Homo-oligomer: A and B are copies of this chain.
């Protein structure tokens, strides 16, 4: 059976489907139609069927979709039960907030090391993991072979750091800095979270949209 190609826009919708199905499941709902799901999620039924169909048919004509089964399947597609070895660079407020996302069941990642250049906080424990000085990064990576790096530091030192991390075998980045890793290293995967861009967007919309108060 020929499937629709999986585009990045479909992939970006999967986590939201996953969250929604989880809450349906928690509420004891065992069955849902694309029409009903569309209504609840603010999408079209057509898009939902189209999206799910990229990965093979999960539904049953005349019935709809089985919620726990669909939830499980999407979890498998997203590889939530994997534990990708991950390091965190930057143990400030943002780093600490982000670290907690890497725990919880089914995050898909396992945090194995935390690094910071601030001597004063080295040795501190975050979620049971000690903050190490960035000087230790190279040997740590050689020994432990992390796959993903989470970047929670300003852009200043990013060039040297990223070059090093890529050389040490890191192949994907969850990047909170404004440094353009993908441009410098097209061979690795990068998911950017540009908080300041997001803030500017809501600023623009707030200023330009007329909403009565």
A200 vs B183: C-alpha distance in the bound complex, in angstroms? 22
- Verify A147–B206 contact, CB threshold 8 A: yes
Q: A97-B93, A174-B199 given as contacts; is B169 within 8 A of A213 (CB)?
A: yes
Residue A29, interface by CB 8 Å: no
Q: Which residue on chain B has the smallest CB distance to residue A109? A: B203
Complex copy number for this chain: 2
Query: A39-66 interface mask toward B, CB cutoff 8 Å, 1 = contact, 0 = none?
Result: 0001000000000000000000000000
**A36 interfacial contact with B, CB 8 Å:** no
How far, in angstroms, from A148 to B92 measured CA to CA in the complex?
25
Q: Across the interface, which residues of B come within 8 angstroms of A203, CB to CB?
A: 78-80, 82, 84, 107-109
**Interface bits A91-109 vs B (CB < 8 Å: 1, else 0):** 0111011101110000111
Beyond A84-B203, A174-B198, 6 extra complex contacts between A and B, CB < 8 Å: A11-B205, A19-B197, A42-B182, A94-B94, A174-B199, A191-B205
List residues of A whose CB falls within 8 A of some B CB: 11-12, 14-16, 18-19, 42, 77-80, 82, 84, 92-94, 96-98, 100-102, 107-109, 147-148, 169, 171-174, 178, 180, 182-183, 187-191, 193-209, 211, 213
